[in-house]
Amino acid sequence: MNQKKYMGIDKDPLGAMNATGNIIRDAWVFGLLPETETCEGWTVQRIDALYSQVTEEWDKYGHLVSKLPPDLGERHRKIYDAAIARARELGWDPNANLESQ
């Protein structure tokens, strides 16, 4: 059976502003993966295993950025600021999926 493989965070449309992109970025924040790891070619099962590791790390901080120690908070800000800037350059609109009221 041929398993679907992930394209890589660097090739994911609109800057990978989705759950998979967040898992990978959070893994970078916590040092579970080097920032050079794009996860290209990873299976869903491998991404799910990484999600479990990331969740275990977030559990230590109540899943709140504000509770991260200063070094991790700064790393999170750096990684996510760069990701948001890149995604916007690629045309990502954070409000695109919101229903107009």
> What integer is the mean pLDDT of 79-87?
97
- What confidence score (pLDDT) does residue 3 get? 84
Rounded distance between C-alpha atoms, residue 55 and residue 57, angstroms: 5
pLDDT tens figures, 23-68: 999 999 999 999 999 999 999 999 999 999 999 999 999 999 999 9
- Give the separation between CA 3 and CA 92, rounded to whole angstroms: 28
CB atoms within 10 A of CB 23: 22
Q: Name the pTM for this structure.
A: 0.91
Question: Are the beta carbons of 78 and 20 closer than 8 angstroms?
Answer: no
Nearest CA among 60, 15, 10, 58 for reference residue 35 = 10
Specify the higher pLDDT residue, 39 or 100: 39
